[in-house]
Amino acid sequence: MVVTDPRYEIPRDLEGKSSISHQAIRYGESSLHPQWPNNAKLALSFILNYEEGGERTVLNGDAHSEPYLWEKGASSSFLEGARHMAAESEYEYGSRVGAWRILRLFKEQGYRFTTWAVSQAVAKNPTFARALVRDGHEIAAHGARWLDISALTVEEEKAYIRENCKTLEDVTGVFPRGYFYGRGTPNTRCLWPEVVKEMGGGKRLLYSSEAFNDDVPYWVDLPWEEGLEVGEREGLLIVPYNYDCNDGKFHMSPGFVGSHMYLEYLKSTFDMLLREGQAGSPKLMNVPMHSRIIGKPGRAEALRSFMLYVKEKGGDEVWVATREEIAEHFKKEFPYVPGHLAPGRKMGLEA
């Protein structure tokens, strides 16, 4: 049964409107100008979902093998109580081959990405985990396992989050400052900052990407901070994510049919968002990736073609950044004030 705790519930926001009644809507028709560095017209975030080794298999004590997001797509099958050698092999391709191909590609292009890191997965491939840090890629949290945890109680989920953080720090030397679970509970988004605060030791959370509802970051109030003095509240910065540019759609229906469709969709998204930025409304574009999916040669070549397109068409107008860099910038330009999505340094509504 799914447990929803009111201490962690954020109300829906269909307008993008501050809870301060006199503040104008800044995330709707007019959107928000995020003031990207160097007057960039678009921020581009690449994200590697690293899950290989954390998926379902009886070797991990699960009841059945992993049926989700591998090469057989919608026709994927699974085995109860037994190993599925094909599924295991597909995930192994991601960690043995695809992950390294992606790392080489990003080094070639001089770009850095954010890693949604499943802690059990990186623990099983510490060489790659250390290479991520070596090459300057961000380590962010994607669960202790790559599982649906929607039935966990609050206390169970707290323990799960602590395990995720501790293992990532032990393996990589980095404490995650951002997170995206995707298959969490209704409490996940607001529970994370509380757990990190309880962990102490100077550990600080920076952002959540547990939302798909905008093209620029924004702040939300944490319900469990309502009893604190205004100056003691930290809020939660949301750096929105997406699924529409996700390479996982190669294995979903309807989804991408061939690398040409994937490339054209990325280019179309880029073109629209860059044009909006040039017209005075800069946005954030997300490109989610998986080692076992985009790491296949034909798809990796399509990703490389997109990177070259970005450089050719966007040039200096595009800021390719990790999500940590994006969040740090936004926090500096739009520091949190309770009741405001993005108040700006002087609480001005014109920012």
Residue type, 188: T
- Looking at residue 64, the DSSP 8-state letter turns out to be B
For the segment 106-112, the average pLDDT, to the nearest whole number, is 98
Alpha-carbon gap, residue 190 to 208, rounded angstroms = 9
Is 20 domain-assigned?
yes
What is the percentage of the chain residues whose pLDDT exceeds 90? 76
Q: How many domains does the chain have?
A: 1
Boundaries of domain holding 228: 6-53+106-333
Confidence of residue 22 (pLDDT cuts 50, 70, 90): low
CATH code, domain with 255: 3.20.20.370
CA dihedral sign of residues 209, 211, 217, 220 = negative
Is 69 domain-assigned?
no
Tell me phi and psi for residue 260, to 5 degrees. -65, -40
Is 174 domain-assigned?
yes
Reply yes or no on whether the pLDDT at 271 is more than 80: yes
Reply yes or no on whether the pLDDT at 350 is more than 90: no
Tell me, what's the pLDDT at 78? Answer: 80
> CA angle, 246 as apex, 121 and 205 as ends, to 5°?
55
What is the percentage of the chain residues whose pLDDT exceeds 70? 95
Is 17 domain-assigned?
yes
- Nearest to residue 32, comparing CAs of 302, 344, 254, 269? 344
Confidence of residue 65 (pLDDT cuts 50, 70, 90): confident
Is 70 domain-assigned?
no
Is 216 domain-assigned?
yes
Is 345 domain-assigned?
no
Alpha carbon separation from 228 to 78, 112, 223, 225, 338 (Å, rounded): 49, 38, 10, 5, 11
pTM: 0.94
Confidence of residue 351 (pLDDT cuts 50, 70, 90): very low
Highest mean pLDDT among 2-6, 320-324, 337-341: 320-324
Residue type, 79: L
Is 167 domain-assigned?
yes
Structure token digits, residue 227: 């009893």
Reply yes or no on whether the pLDDT at 49 is more than 90: yes
